Chain A
Amino acid sequence: MESGAGELQPAARISVAGTARDLDPQFKDEVAALYAGPSLALCCQCGTCSGSCPTVGRMEYSPRRIMHMVLLGMADEVLRSHDIWFCVSCYSCSARCPQGIEIADVMAALRSLSIAKGLARDPEATFSSTFLEVLKRHGRMYEPEVLARYFAAEVNLGAILKMAPVGLRMFRKGKIGLRPERIENAEELAEIAARITSARSRGGSGGQEP
């Protein structure tokens, strides 16, 4: 073959998660702003996190690849993924990361960014948002309202039917009540939430801040 003519024929193709066409180099900084701990750039891709994760079997990417995708700037793929919502916050990854990165906290930061940017499509995202809404109204948990709102949003008859016997037993055992417990100063919570939101927009960054 003449030098310069023809192309190298690859013996193998290494595929990347998805085909990232739009990389956002600021993404890792956006995530870092919501996370307090050793730098994400310390990640050496050892995979200990994935090996410790109890729900990795249900994930599309895995904790290790999510970390890599964050560093590469694959914001869309990460924030739309279900992976971050399968995280159960068990902190096994954080406990074992040889670089000391608080991976579980990074996952939490990604979840909050996912909601803030309206990219979250997962029942757990709906549940967490609903939980917060009910909390702001009453100051304490009011399970019947959370469930009513959650199931109205998720509309999953199968899940509702499966939940019914457990819910009934819990009610009979006095574990959940029908009437909400409202604290005296419930409006304080809504006030706190409002102040945080306005402090953030005064800060001007537009995203969530730590």
Chain B
Amino acid sequence: MSWRAVCEAVGIELVEMEDWSCCGTVHVTSVDRLLSLALAARNLAIAEAMGLEIAAPCSGCYKNLRVANEALKTDAELRAKVNACLPRPFQGSTAVKHPLYIILDDVGLEALGDPPRPLNGLRVAPYYGCVLTRPAAAEPVDHPEDPQGLDRLLRTLGAKVVPYYPAKTKCCGGAVLLSHTDVAVDLTGKLLKQAKEVGAQCLAVACPMCQMALDAYQSRVEKQLGERLDLPIFYFTQLIGLALGIDEGRLGLGRLMVSPSKALAEVWGSKVGERTGLERGDRPNGNSASFDWRPG
């Protein structure tokens, strides 16, 4: 919802792909790689026929489509195999992009600089998730483990970005959310606890699956950790929308399980003092020392 609203505001025209189908995400790659490539290629071929690039707001789908696009473009034998199974052949004439990098690279932060309703120092933890920047693309959009795109975007909107490395690209466990829920609750718990420890009031994410895990499962995490977290999880275009002054009803804020009202009231409803740089666990280079990232 908020992505559509932001596109309208910055002049991007979104055209729904005709008869698009599910690409299978990570689950079909676990069953049959060739089928996964074919399902992705079916959608790539639709976009090619429309003569448009694909914007994939979900990092999981973005990774699937992008990797398929690259693999089929470079491997002729694979392409022949897959095309033999498709109703419309894949030609390799489209590109797959993620909204975050469309905003950063195609639109540019200058278009958002000096927004009408800046976020007034809202303390945000920028969470990229794992497959947005990994595996590295043929032409990488950002650093695989310490990307900066979302950080820069949030600062442009007037937020205060809390130090969130290395958590920023650690997996939330979304891929196994239903089958190994305890794993996802553990991983999500680490991310939320880390954000809390560095003073975040909320998180900004770039993937609806991550948003689902961090938001819908936050109450389970709270039970497991034995503490209240109260961390609203914004899909990043919701924050762009807020800063641009887009009507909140168009940003889907009501769909969030953890309500953002308190955090937003703190930055807009009352005076919020700027916190000094050296918060607990901070190191001068921005890394947070206090959290235990050893595996398991």
Contacts and interface: CB of A to CB of B under 8 A. Distances in A.
Same complex for A and B? Answer yes
Interface of A: 34, 36, 50-58, 85-86, 88-92, 94-95, 102, 104, 108-109, 111-112, 115, 122-129, 131-132, 135, 139-141, 147, 150, 159, 162-163, 166, 169-170, 173-175, 183-186, 188-189, 191-193, 195-196, 199-200, 208-210
Interface in B160-192: 170-171, 173-176, 178-181, 183, 187
A169 B216 contact: yes
Contacts of A90: 130-131, 134, 170-171
Contacts of A58: 183, 296
Contacts, number: 176
Contacts of A88: 130, 171, 173-176, 183, 187
A102 B135 contact: yes
Interface stretch (B32-40, B198-206, B267-275): B32-40
8 contacts: A86-B176, A90-B131, A112-B29, A132-B28, A132-B32, A147-B178, A191-B87, A192-B35
Contacts of B28: 128, 131-132, 135
Nearest to A124: B179
B238 to A, nearest CB: 14
Nearest to A150: B178
Interface in B221-250: none
A162 B179 CA distance: 12
Contacts of A140: 21-22
A89 B183 contact: no
Nearest to B29: A108
B11 to A, nearest CB: 28
B85 A86 contact: no
Contacts of A135: 21-22, 24, 28, 39
Given A56-B296, A188-B87, 18 more contacts: A34-B33, A36-B78, A54-B295, A58-B296, A86-B180, A90-B170, A91-B134, A95-B144, A112-B30, A124-B180, A127-B178, A127-B179, A128-B31, A131-B24, A166-B216, A166-B217, A183-B21, A195-B84
A58 B183 CA distance: 9
A88 B217 CA distance: 17
B39 A189 contact: yes
A57 B31 contact: no
A6 to B, nearest CB: 44
Nearest to A37: B135
Contacts of B176: 85-86, 88, 124
A95 B71 contact: no
Contacts of B22: 135, 139-141
Contacts of B108: none
Contact of B35 (A54, A55, A169, A196): A196
A210 B145 contact: no
B134 A95 contact: yes
B16 to A, nearest CB: 12
A123 B31 CA distance: 13
